[in-house]
Structure 1
């Protein structure tokens, strides 16, 4: 079920009404959680109810492991905690590996027949599996580290049946909560679980919900959905071979704007929807295209994934505590695995590898005093960072590495272009029109950071912002593109 579908609107209205219709009784938290669980189950199983079985296995396995970890932690059985954490992590990674990476792995073995490899690769990828797998790992690790104390007293005093039922309910809500179920943001357990409490209608942050929902739907439906049919031509090697380098770069610019509008828009919608039910999600995108380095970019793009990789992978690997060489290796490994997380294909591994190399190179050069003292204008650094990021987006859009190399070869060898080539191309107009909206948004982000413009604080210019949101609502209603799925649903 898509956020931009009428089925979802109906589900949202019904769920919202039932959620806040629960009277002020001792079991209010429990009933409200169950309402959200039922709604999330309908939301996820709408297209294929069979996927709910996998969610049930993930939820049940993580619940059982969580209770065992809590019991061992409260009894100071450190070895028991480590054992159950390892088992739970293996379970989560096994589910992810079977459905997402089995085809890639069996293809590495020469003794596997092509028919067998193809049959394994044909296993359907459950939507959102990468996201709720990471949530499950966050849950068991945070419990083992003592960052979640919601059930300490319950473990000590309540019957085992009550412990498991309550933990299963809240674990299910954490994994299945529909705003973040399909494509994040990736919420850490110690951030989400303290928010599981009885909610009241008067506590809704209407301003946050309205602003994020309107902005999110605008970027998704007006910008991303209008750019998607235009930039999809880059998936065709015949099209790439027939175009000049300027046109190809403009199409790549359009895709760079599209993927931000699509994923950033989804994250904004998720934040707004969560606010309607009294939950506060962290910001996932912070004007990433004004970054001045790749390091800076990953502090702004998909911030919750970056934080997850840092806390549960980079730091456990040693981070930057074991010398320069180990730091560079850790950066490379984290980005390589982060690339594979995006898809079981070597083109995603190439994307992660290149990001890892650029991050390591930036860290190496930044540690050279002679180079670190060189002053480079911020605009030059922003252009450099955006160029690298945009060029690497080719691995996301294009079907294989061969098409990626064809793209860059065509840009390098056929850059000549006349004004007529561009003026007569309607795709160029679409890219410039809708891409400019993302550019203006990032210009606003730059003004926000360096001129203290209000966004999350008080509205210093209420009439201006009122007109802006009014215009976005008008464009959503009148100029939305053809309905498309979210880009990150495939991950």
Structure 2
């Protein structure tokens, strides 16, 4: 079910008033959790009910694992860590089977596995959102083992006997909470489970809800979906790409860079707004990433929840930057390689992550060699040059997300060098009309960071309401063709 679909709006209209029914005492919290579980299950299984089998299995398995970890920590048996490690392995095994079995079989010697078995494995559909809810499950096991959740929450999650149903419901809600189930933001267990308590209607910040939902739907429906109608031309095939006009090719590439931002940032903003409606605060996922002046800064602004997850649960456990320069560069490479492969079971995603890792390592090496402090002030020239380099490096690497194969990527660069210049066409016009809001959004971000006084004056309630009204008008009158969110495939 899509956020931008009629069934979802009906589900929301039915669930929200039922969620805030005035029930007595402890029953209010129980009712709200159970209702959200039911709504989340319906949301997830709307098009393919069989997907609930795997999701339900993940919830049950991880609830049992958490109870065992807490029990063995309580009795100090020394067996808590094996349960945690076993749980991590089990979750990764499920992810590997459903998402990576095909690519893993592809690297085995030909004939080692019967072709019928290979074809069967590759025919298994990818469960939507499996990467996101697997990362939630891993965060749950690790945070509980590290005692990063509150004592009160640990006591609740460690219930045994008849009270185990309550802890199972809470853990399941963390994993399948529908606003962030399919495409994030990735929420750490310690930041969500402690929020599970009775919610009150009067606590909703409706101004924040309006800001997030209007901006999110505008970015998705007006910007991303309209740009997608043009950027699909980048997949027309190697021969046509090699013969294309360079100006239009670059307009399409810039358009895709704006599209993937608007699509994913739009989803994240909608998810955060929906979370506030139900009394849960989800983490911010984007911080004006196209203002970045280095790849290092880009990863502090893009997909923040994934960056934080990889840092806390992979980079730091690998040693981070505490074990010498060589180990630091290796850790950066491994984290970005695995982060790229997390985005999809194709080598092009691993290439995307690897190249980002190479850029990060080079920037770190140059920074250390020059003896500069990473966040030290820089001249206007270096700031602009850094922004140009970063924006184009990031944008060119998006080709690995969009193109079906390396031949198409090579053909794109062949087209850039073809010299077949002509009058700019529809791609340039679409970039100006539908990419303009992304540029305006980042200009607003620049003002917030560098001219807070001016940005404060621009947040006058009347001006803000006028802008939101214009955005809603454009969403209603000029929506792009409805399509799923890009990150659903991951």
Q: Smaller-chain TM-score range?
A: over 0.9
Q: How does 1:346-361 map to 2 (within 5 A)?
A: 346-361=347-362
Aligned to 1:467: 466
> Equivalent residue for 2:272?
271
Contact preservation (8 Å) 1:262, 1:487: yes
TM-score by length of 2: 0.95
Aligned to 1:119: 120
- Label 1:388 to 1:323 Cα distance change in 2 as closer, same or farther (>3 A): same
Contact 1:233 1:239 in 2 (8 A): no
Q: Matches of residues 61-460 of structure 1 in structure 2 within 5 Å?
A: 61-77=61-77, 79-110=78-109, 111=111, 112-148=113-149, 149-154=151-156, 159-162=160-163, 164-237=164-237, 238-369=239-370, 375=379, 376-411=381-416, 413-418=417-422, 420=423, 422=424, 425-452=425-452, 460=459
| TM-fit CA distance, 1:244 | 2.1
1:23-44 CA-to-partner distances (Å, cap 9, x unmatched) read 1322211110000000000000
Preserved contact between residue 222 and residue 476 of structure 1 (Cα < 8 Å): yes
Looking at structure 1, the residues matched to 171 and 195 of structure 2 have their Cα atoms a distance apart, in angstroms, of: 13
Q: Provide the residue aligned with 1:36 in structure 2.
A: 36
In structure 2, relative to structure 1, the CA distance for the partners of 1:182 and 1:454 (3 Å cut) is farther
> How far 1:383 sits from its partner (Å)?
1.1
Task: List gaps (5 residues or longer) in structure 2.
Answer: none
Q: Check conservation: 2:157, 2:167, Cα contact below 8 A.
A: no
Matched pairs, number? 482
Q: Matched residues in 1 for 2:120 and 2:418: separation?
A: 40
CA distance in 1, matches of 2:241, 2:225: 22
SS for the counterpart of 2:435 is helix
Q: CA separation in 2, counterparts of 1:185 and 1:310?
A: 15
1:348-370 CA-partner distances (Å, limit 9, x unpaired): 01000100000000000010126
The structural deviation recorded for 1:113 is 4.8
Structure 1 residue 316: Cα displacement: 0.4
Distance 2:304 2:155 in 1: 33
CA distance in 2, matches of 1:458, 1:193: 37
Runs of 4+ deviating beyond 4 Å: 370-376, 457-460
Question: Residue 26 of structure 2 aligns to a residue in which SS?
Answer: coil
Task: Please say if residues 32 and 198 of structure 1, whose CA atoms lie closer than 8 Å, have aligned partners that are also in contact.
Answer: yes
8 Å Cα contact 1:454/1:460 also seen in 2? no
Aligned-residue CA RMSD in angstroms? 1.8
Quote how far apart the aligned CAs of 1:409 are.
Answer: 2.7
How far apart are residue 154 of structure 1 and its match?
4.3
How far apart are the structure 2 equivalents of 1:431 and 1:89?
Answer: 44
Q: Is the contact made by 2:216 and 2:269 (CA closer than 8 Å) also made in structure 1?
A: yes
d(CA) in 1 for partners of 2:190 and 2:219?
Answer: 30
Deviations 1:249-272 (A, max 9, x none): 110000000000000000000000
- Between the aligned partners of 1:402 and 1:155, the Cα distance in structure 2 is 51
Question: Could you tell me whether the CA contact under 8 Å between 1:335 and 1:355 is conserved in 2?
Answer: yes
CA distance in 2, matches of 1:393, 1:155: 41
Q: Return the alpha-carbon distance in structure 1 between the equivalents of residues 114 and 241 of structure 2.
A: 33
Deviation at 1:183, TM superposition (A): 0.1
CA gap of 1:415–1:335, structure 2 versus 1, over 3 A, is farther
Partner SS, residue 287 of structure 2 = coil
Specify every segment of 5 or more residues in structure 1 that has no aligned partner in the other structure, as ranges. none
- For the residues of structure 2 that align with 1:306 and 1:159, how far apart are their CA atoms? 35
